[in-house]
Structure 1
């Protein structure tokens, strides 16, 4: 765009019309610097700001805006789109990092993981599929008599300082004494806690009743949930019956006058039990001494039923033959070795 020297002179002297001022402003925006011959430094310094008539300011602004915004907007939108693209890339990378990077577990989780790595926990489930009672021994030495169709689950080893088992059905428990590690039986929302005692828990699938009968010692029976809460301490000869439909608890004298001693059970049941545990049970049942080297029995296990009507000699001979061991009768009892 070319503007005459006369029009520029009128502009700097404040004598231009609004249309002429707009023309000169567009020209000045297009050039980098004003030619020296048009206006001297002294004249520039003496030039005063042009005073526009009232009402013309807004008119000039709108005209300038119309001429300039059409060029500014495309550039501005290009910048906005570029910035938005960068933001989307950054957000996408952040989300990808969240999905792929595994968060660091809390301290408590770390401790639990370390414990599991050093001492792995496996769940064991035992079901009595027979029509008669079966005897088994827990890792802590406690004895359990499983009634037909009963199921018992527990962790190997017992978790932390608790000895916890989960029962479905009916079982008799003779708990090894350990004041520092409570023994807890969970059955259909009811927990029975003992330190060293004997009791029977009945929690059948098709029954609304859960029953706890105490034979020796003391037990704490409780339930704590949003539906029902109770806590009862039983003494020998007492039984607790909880009605899960009516949420009602009744403690009364036990209907069972006598409990058959454990040593009168006619059969022992083992499922992948170590030979050390098997021999320990046989020593208790037959009141004999069985000597062996633990190194010889390492990684040896036994699964099956042992009829206690058989002689101990016959039983040991069968176990020794299955595991390619030698059974020797001694003055003090029996010796098992490779």
Structure 2
């Protein structure tokens, strides 16, 4: 870039327009030193209309040259400082954005980690309500069987949750539990939990009744209350075959009856029949005498089969034989003469 001597002359005289002044400044900013041929001492003297003495002319020439060069160096220093400031600002903004980007990335990853729920399998519940006037047989996922009495409801998960064999009862049901020592079977009924491994028992927990009854036929069960309501005393009872636990929820009181002998000893007795590990042959003989019916069976089919339980005098012989046959995996057939029991 070059500037004419005439334009430089106007600049030094202060006669430049703003555009011309900017052009001269850019030129002076681009050179390191002011060339002597552009503004020599002789030319400086010739541009003045007034006559100056030699000493004064030298002083004015030196002052103008010094001021002009100082302006050039000042402009160059300002440009360097400005460039450095701009570079620093750009680097600061870049680092700031990088830090926030990394922070946002971490926050996003953390948020994703926290908000991602574990995949769980949905629980399918099955509810069985017996609306009939007779018992209804239900086979549970583990092979256990339940005879639901009229009006009762049984709820359970399909399959059992985490191999926990748990069911919920409202009403009365007879349970025959498949044996599994690693997975206890639990029946929840009106704040009472009955735990068994491989037994048969009957639970009565009617909705409008204050009594909850657990009757054990075979094996062993643990009965305890799980109600956390205040002023309710905790209890835990182990029942053996032939025992019956009755819990009064109004009085918060339990009673356990233990019958080990056969209460009915003659065929005319109207009392309940209580059997304790009695062979099925003996049980059928007693039933024949008590109900005055004919029960036909093969003794070989009943070897090593026994029965423990209480038979109410109000129960029909059909229901009793059906339950005994169900417990021992036998078939019961009603005939013109009476009943036929066989494998």
- TM interval, shorter chain, is 0.3 to 0.5
Calculate the TM-score normalised by the size of structure 1: 0.44
